[in-house]
Amino acid sequence: MDDLLRDFLTESSENLARLDNDLIALERQPGDATPLNSVFRTIHTIKGTCGFLGLTRLETLAHSAENLLDALRSGKLSVSDALINDVLAAVDQIKNILEALESTEAEPDGDDLRLIAQLDAWMSHDPTHAATTEPEDMPEPRLPNAPAQDTDELFPTPSSGGATMFAPDVAATGEPTATRAESDAPVVENRAPLADSTLRVSVGLLDELMNLVGELALSRNQLAQLAAGDEQSVFTHPVQHLNRVTTDLLDAVLRTRMQPIGNAWTKLPRLVRDLSSAAGKQIELVMEGADTELDRQILQAIQDPLTHMVRNSADHGIEDAPARRAAGKPEQGTVRLAARHEGGHVIIEIADDGRGIDVSRVRRKAIERGLVRADLAETLSDTQVLRFIFEPGFSTAEQITNVSGRGVGMDVVRSNIEAIGGSVELQSEFGRGATVRIRIPLTLAIISALIVESAGESFAVPQIGIVELVRVTEEKRQLVERVNGARFYRLRDVLLPLVDLHGLLELEPRADVETQSIVVCQVGHQRFGLMVDEVFDTAEIVVKPVGRLVKHLSAYAGCTITGDGRVIMILDPSGVASMAAINERSSRDESALAAAKTSLGASEEATESILLFDAGFPAMQAVPLSLVARLEEFAPSVFEEADGQFLVQYRGALIPVIPANPSIDIRALDPRPVIMFNDGERTMGVAVNAIRDIVEEKLSIERSATRAGVLGVCVINGKATEVIDTDYFLRLAYADWHRSLGHSGTDSAAPHVLLIDDSRFFLGLLAPALRAAGFHITTASGAESALARLDAGETFDLVISDIEMDGMDGFALAEAIRRKPLGKELMLVALTSRDGSDDYARGIAAGFDAYLPKYDRETVVSTVRRLTTRELAAA
Amino acid sequence: MTTTLRSRRTAAQSAIHEYVTFALGEQWIGIPVGSVQEVLVAQHIARVPLAPSAVAGFLNLRGQIVTSIDLRTTLGLKPREADATFMNVVVRQEGELFAFMVDDVGDVLAFDDEVIEDTPATLDARWRSACHGIVRREHDLLLILDVQAFLRLDQPTS
């Protein structure tokens, strides 16, 4: 292709990309001369060059457009939507012709008479039209040497540094590409020619430069360490100087790869405008932080996801004007695109004030699609539910896109963003709008990392995934808790799952480590603590890929070479999290909770009334209101102390009152609020500092127990809240009472039920319910311990067992019990959150007398009553 | 012994090739000189936890990451003494660098393809699949390693 033609094509498409935005700016602010002049200049330039290159068709069209713009400029015509539409149509047609020109090197056949007539019609409305038409040159033969001043005008240098990045691709491929050029900066105001101060450089060369500088930085690090030991060395000063220069060089090279994010936004104003006029909506696209810079590699990777999400917001998010009016919103919808730097990351937000997303619909859809179990889905927070939109199975759901907005391709959006180490999340308030928040690293080649050591080996942890560091000193060691074999650290109010790095990597732990450290990592929404022996410095490291023999190891993101020349592995926090099955751990807690929670409620949909109170712990305390008998207040004088316990006379009986927090001085508050519990026969009170609230919430435990007396931690009103274990307090209050009853034998008439579940929470909730119904309850936390009780000769009238348990499951337990001589007659009831006739048949085959859904407490109680009555009658 | 001369080799294909030889215990092994980039003295080798047992770790060769492979482990020999010295034969394979940890490196020897015999069927399967052939020498047999096949052998099965 002719060099001149190629340059013309490149420059024209760059200019045209800017044109779209200028025209839209013009439409918005008809009085503003800047965009108008810019549009006029661009069209004029194209027209002039066309004549020069002998492209008559293009020239004729550009000429008509130019006339129209000139009339606008001189105030002979005024800006209107229809007029701008026509100019945009002309711009589109110019683009089409340029594209054809690019592929065939000749103007396509045909003409644009209709379009030209349409453009000219505007002029004929105007009596002064003739005066605005300037005499036009005839197409001139192409000259081999363009005069210098022409070149300046033809190729106005783009103002942004980013624009210079596109040309290298052109140079590299030898072909100009119109689409690439469209990602020019949207900034138009300060387009002062800067021809002498910028240069087009091949991206390949920049990448090579980047690699070399990376290597140089490594050598610098090695040299610096060699010189570090010896202050007197003649090398000290030169090395220091080298150090400074290398750092600056690294920085400068990194900057050559930086482009303003606006480069990825240029197409968007036009996109939104077209979408809104096609759908008859009014949408304003607000762009903030377009000059936020990030690595071009990343910029390219996010361009498509961004376009997709903005289109979603405009197309599905924003309602049409009548709907907005009806919803009491301004007729004009807003899509806000914002970018900013935030600690080594770029945050991009796409927010709209449209109809938002119906979370309950997403939840239903997720259940239908089999992405989540129905009972589990109820316990998920809205943010967790909205995350399903990014699931592959979800995107194909056709209904959801019409009703609630997003859907198509969101899984692709997520995988594109995650591929560059970013994360994406969606928030929405139904009826109010939705916000997508993307978090991406600034650059991929060099990262900041924390160097840690475990079992004598060093590792780098990308700083990006690190939230904080905790040093586990002797006194803090008690904050490390063990729950079901998994370790947790009590970090403020949150239980942080711990991963021992040496255990995970199968390294021999060192015996001489005194204090370990916890590197708190965040992967998506999951936090976990990485236990390491030692934490060293942070360092800028060059990420190097690992060889193919170890590529399959998900624990690593790559490797790097340290200042002293050693190779160390870079840990990949998300790989570590999945290896340690952090997610499964918490979801197991959630599923137990889901089952437990629904066992209390009448239906699956129901939320729970939860009583919130303050007991002097850092976290708010909670208890399901269904377990509370009454709320009372007592004057300090009514508390009597006996046998190390506080007692109050209450409704004709002396009942024990236990402080919710051992540090509470019961008499210190007047009146002292007390929560009364009753399990059927016994009443007791728990003294608290203040009753705070009663809320309707889904009880969804995020973490298992933090300390005795607590079943788990859940989030209520956005705060970590501890759910107390009422059974624990009952046992505290009636420790002696239990024993005395055992002796007197009054209890022996009550059917004795063994309740087995590996979820302490579930036991804590169902046991009081059964006790309240008059049963004598013994609990076991697993099939194995239940069998041990039976083997030890304990007798029961009935056994209730969970089906899904760690270790031996309910089916195996039933079979084992039935094999025992005394087990043949024992009544066995299965509780499950699974439903399905196969399971039912399997349960009956295994020897269960009844197979009940876990969430239906009333059925459980009535079935147990029916079976035990029959049992007793038969006996 | 059932070894035979490679009768299918024609005179036209017959050519002289050079081999870098190295020792693993008593056994001498040769690899084509063209696949060897360089030989390094003992280096610091960074362990890669969880890596397949064949991978001894990574070493830094002027800023390039080289996957180090302990031939003793791979070929089922008893592990090297902790303080024993070793050499690294750096091999480039499909654009990636590997370093073979060996006990000692010997001369570069030239053999006519004619003298390379088929690997004996009696050889341990692990060795046989990694060998291209053998050369009878005065006092011992020199194994010719098929580098590509050998590195395929080390591919993790997972």
Split at pLDDT 50, 70, 90, the class of B98 is very high
Closest CA to B75 of B136, B133, B23, B19: B23
Whether B1 is in a domain gets the answer no
Q: How far is CA B22 from the centre of its chain?
A: 8
Q: Please tell me if residue A210 touches chain B, with a CB cutoff of 8 Å.
A: no
- Which residue in chain B has the smallest CA separation from A546? B65
Sign of CA dihedral B41, B42, B46, B51: positive
**How many other C-beta atoms lie within 10 A of the C-beta of residue B91?**
24
Tell me, yes or no, if A546 comes closer than 8 A to chain B by beta carbon. Answer: yes
Dihedral sign, Cα of residue A589, residue A530, residue A517, residue A463: negative
* HSE-up (13 A, CA, CB side) for residue A121: 10
Q: Is residue A597 part of a domain?
A: no
Q: What is the pLDDT of residue A227?
A: 74
pTM for the model: 0.42
B66 in a structural domain = yes
Give the tokens for residue A307.
């376009």
Q: What is the pLDDT of residue B58?
A: 92
Chain A: give the shortest CA distance to residue B23, in Å: 24
Beta partners for residue A57, in sequence order? none
Do the Cβ atoms of B46 and A569 come within 8 Å? yes
CA dihedral A185→A190→A196→A197, nearest 10 degrees, is -70
CB within 8 Å: A546 and B65: yes
Strands A683-687 and A653-659: parallel
Banded pLDDT at B153 (limits 50, 70, 90) = low
Task: Choose from A550, A552, A556, A570 for mutation: most chain B CBs within 10 A.
Answer: A550
Joined together, the tokens standing for residue A216 give 């140089």
Cβ separation of A506 and B44 shorter than 8 Å? no
Q: Is residue A590 part of a domain?
A: no
* A344 close contact with B: CB closer than 8 A: no
Instruction: Answer whether residue B6 is part of any domain.
Output: no
Q: Name residues of chain A where pLDDT drops below 50.
A: 126-195, 396-408, 584-606, 736-747, 873-875
**Whether residue A131 is found in the same domain as residue A235:** no
Q: Which residues of A touch B55 (CB under 8 A)?
A: 549-550
A271 & A398 share domain: yes
Report yes or no on A738 lying in a domain.
no
Asked if residue A541 lies in contact with residue A510, where contact means CB atoms within 8 angstroms, the answer is: no
Residue A446 sits at the chain B interface (C-beta within 8 Å): no
Cβ-Cβ contacts under 8 Å, B96 against chain A: 547-548
A549 and chain B in contact, CB less than 8 A: yes
Please check whether residue B9 lies inside any domain of the structure. Answer: no
Both structure tokens of A149: 């001043």
Contact A604, A616 (CB under 8 A): no
- CB within 8 A of A764, min separation 6: which ones? A711, A725, A726, A727, A728
Altogether, the residues listed in chain B come to a count of 158
Please count the structural domains in chain B. Answer: 1
Domain count, chain A: 6
Q: Identify the pLDDT of residue B18.
A: 92
CA distance B72 to chain A (A): 17
Q: How far is A766 from chain B (nearest CA, A)?
A: 44
B127 close to A (CB below 8 A): no
What is d(CA A787, CA A808) in angstroms, rounded to the nearest whole number?
A: 10
- The range of the structural domain enclosing residue B136 comes to 16-153
Predicted confidence at residue B14, as pLDDT, reads 62
Q: Inter-chain contact A561–B98, Cβ cutoff 8 Å? A: no
Closest approach of A495 to chain B, Cα-based (Å): 28
Question: Which chain B residues have a beta carbon less than 8 Å from that of A457?
Answer: 47, 49
Give B158's contacts in chain A (Cβ within 8 Å).
Answer: 552
Q: Are residues A511 and A479 in the same domain?
A: yes
Residue A716 CB neighbours (<10 A): 20
Q: Is pLDDT at B9 greater than 70 in this prediction?
A: no
Domain for residue A198, yes or no? no
Contact list in B for residue A218 (CB cut-off 8 A) is 63
Residues A437 and A462 in one domain: no
Q: Which of B51, B58, B156 has the CB atom closest to A567's CB atom?
A: B58
Contact B158 A552 (CB under 8 A): yes
Q: Which two tokens stand for residue B65?
A: 């990451």
Structural domain boundaries, residue A830: 750-874
Q: Are residues A223 and A113 in the same domain?
A: no
In a domain, A24, yes or no: yes
A274 and A250: one domain?
A: no
Domain CATH for A865: 3.40.50.2300
Query: What secondary structure does DSSP assign to A540-583, as a single string?
Result: EEE-BPPPTTTTT-TTEEEEEE-TTS-EEEEE-HHHHHHHTTHH
Q: State phi, psi for B145 to the nearest 5 degrees.
A: -85, 135
Report whether the peptide linkage leading into residue A671 is cis, meaning its omega lies within 30 degrees of zero: yes
Residues 6+ apart with CB under 8 A from A400: A361, A362, A365, A394, A406, A407
Instruction: Tell if the CB–CB gap between A567 and B65 is shorter than 8 Å.
Output: yes
> A520 to chain B nearest CA, in Å?
21
Same-domain pairing of A381 and A463: no
Measure the CA–CA gap between A402 and A329, rounded to whole angstroms.
20
- Among A452, A549, A554, A559, the strongest candidate for a mutation testing the B interface, having the largest count of B CBs within 10 A, is A549
Q: Among A709, A705, A702, which residue's Cα sits nearest to residue A688?
A: A709
Partners of B58 on chain A (C-beta within 8 Å) are 546-547, 559, 567
Packing angle of the helix pair A268-279, A3-28 (nearest 10 deg): 50
Nearest CA in chain A to B60: A567
Shortest Cα–Cα distance, B49 to chain A (Å): 6
Angle at A391 between CA A297 and CA A304, to 5 degrees: 30
**Chain B closest-CA separation from residue A701 CA (Å):** 34
In a domain? residue B158: no
Does residue B8 form part of some domain?
Answer: no
- Taking contacts as CB-CB distances below 8 angstroms, the residues of chain B near A553 are 48, 50-51
Q: Would A585 be classed as within a structural domain?
A: no
Whole-number pLDDT of residue A395: 52
Q: What are phi and psi of A591, to 5 degrees?
A: -70, -35
Which residue from A254, A721, A628, A229 is spatially nearest to A445, judged by alpha carbons? A254
CATH code of residue B124? 2.40.50.180
d(CA A707, CA A680): 26
Q: Residue A739 falls within a domain, yes or no?
A: no
| Residue range A482-514, pLDDT digits in tens | 665 677 787 776 678 889 998 889 888 887 777
Q: How far is the CA of A554 from the CAs of A169, A289, A504, A713, B113, in angstroms?
A: 34, 35, 12, 31, 44
Q: In the prediction, which pLDDT does A790 show? A: 85
| Closest CA–CA distance from residue A546 to any residue of chain B (Å) | 7
Q: Is there a single domain that holds both residue A676 and residue A782?
A: no
Q: Are residues A784 and A678 in the same domain?
A: no
C-alpha–C-alpha distance, residues B15 and B12, integer Å: 8
The pLDDT-based confidence of B57 (bands split at 50, 70, 90) is: very high
In degrees and rounded to multiples of 5, residue A17 shows phi and psi of: -60, -40
Question: A813 and A826 share a domain?
Answer: yes
The candidate with the shortest Cα–Cα distance to A380, out of A620, A601, A701, is A701
Convert the pLDDT of each residue in A527-542 to its tens digit: 889 999 989 888 778 7
pLDDT for A183: 37
Q: Does residue A219 belong to the interface with chain B, where contact is any CB pair within 8 Å?
A: yes
Work out the number of other CB atoms within 10 angstroms of the CB of residue A150: 15
Cβ A18 vs Cβ A184: under 8 Å:
yes
Do A572 and A627 lie in a common domain?
A: no
Closest CA to B48 of A516, A555, A572, A561: A555
Asked if residue A772 is part of any domain, the answer here is yes
The pLDDT assigned to B29 comes to: 93
Chain A (550-589) residues lying within 8 Å, Cβ to Cβ, of chain B: 550, 552-553, 555-556, 559, 561, 565-569
Positive or negative, the Cα torsion across A838, A843, A844, A847?
positive
- Nearest CA of chain A to the CA of B45: how many Å? 8
Nearest to A499 by CA among A465, A475, A549, A544: A465
Give the angle subtended at the CA of A747 by the CAs of A744 and A749, to the nearest 5°.
Answer: 115
Residue B19 confidence (pLDDT): 93
Is position B20 within any domain? yes
The pLDDT, as a whole number, for residue A533 is 92
Q: Is B48 helix (H, G, I), strand (E, B) or coil?
A: coil
Among A495, A497, A505, A467, smallest CA distance to A583 is for A497
A783 and B CB contact within 8 Å? no
Can you give the length of chain A in residues? 875
Residue A619 DSSP symbol: S
Q: Does B79 touch chain A (CB under 8 A)?
A: no
| Interchain pair B46, A566: CB under 8 A | yes
Chain A residue with Cα closest to B92: A547
CA A686/CA A674 separation, integer angstroms: 5
On whether any CB of chain A is under 8 Å from the CB of B60, the answer is yes
In CATH, what number is assigned to the domain containing residue A244?
A: 1.10.287
Say whether A642 sits in a helix, a strand or coil: strand
Q: Is residue B127 part of a domain?
A: yes
- Bridge partners (DSSP) of residue A802 are A831
Strands in B16-24's sheet, in edge-to-edge order, are B104-112, B16-24, B27-32, B141-145, B131-136, B116-117
Considering the domain architecture, whether residues A451 and A429 belong to the same structural domain is answered as: no
* CB distance B133 to B144 below 8 Å: yes
Category of A292 on φ-ψ map: left (φ > 0), alpha (ψ -120 to 50) or beta = beta
CA A77 to CA A74: how far, in whole Å?
8
